[in-house]
Amino acid sequence: MQASEPQNSKDGRQAIINTIIKRRGDSRFRNALLQAYESRCAITSFNAVDVLEAACIVPFRGKFPHHPSNGLLLRADIHALFDLGKIAIDTGSMSVVLTEDLMQTSYRLLAGRPLRYPKEEEHRPSNEALDLHRRSAGL
C-alpha cells in the first residue's frame, strides 16, 4: 500500500467529510449566512446547501468578527476563488470583478453580476470589508 492511501475506505471517507466540514466554516456562522442568504450563493444564487460555504470576507480577527456582515455564502468553487483573490466585489456597483485569467474561462459569465444581498440590512456585507478584500486581491 502506498503512503497516500487510506487504511480503509471508511478512513478515507471520514477524512473527506472532515475536510468538507472544515471548509464549510464555523457551523453557527454558516447557519447565520444560510438564513441571511436564504440558502443561496451570494454570487451565483445556486441553492444546493451541501456545497454552500461560509466565506469570511476578511480574516475574522479584531475589527471583522464572525458576523454575517463579514461573510458571504458562496458555492464551494466560488469560495475557493474568492479566497485566492481571483474574485472580488466592486462596492461601487456591488457587482462581481474577476482577474484577467478567470476572464479567459467559463467564470467570465460571472463578471459584472450583481451581488445577492440578505434582506436584513444588519446582515449585508460590510463595504469596508469588501473593499479591503478587493484591494488585497489587487482588483
One DSSP character per residue, 41-106 reads -TTT----GGGEEEEESS-SSTTS-SSGGGEEEEEHHHHHHHHTTSEEEETTTTEEEE-HHHHTSG
Indicate if the pLDDT at residue 62 is higher than 90.
no
Residue 2 lies in a domain: no
Residue 30 lies in a domain: yes
Residue 65 lies in a domain: yes
CA distances from 72 to 16, 80, 100, 118, 129 (A): 23, 12, 23, 10, 11
Between these two residues, 88 and 21, which has the higher pLDDT value? 88
Between these two residues, 30 and 105, which has the higher pLDDT value? 105
Residue 128 lies in a domain: yes
Residue 1 lies in a domain: no
Q: How confident is the model at residue 126 (pLDDT cuts 50, 70, 90)?
A: very high
How confident is the model over 50-75, as a mean pLDDT?
83
What is the domain count for the chain? Answer: 1
pTM of the model: 0.80
Residue 3 lies in a domain: no
Residue 112 lies in a domain: yes
Residue 98: domain span:
9-137
Residue 71 lies in a domain: yes
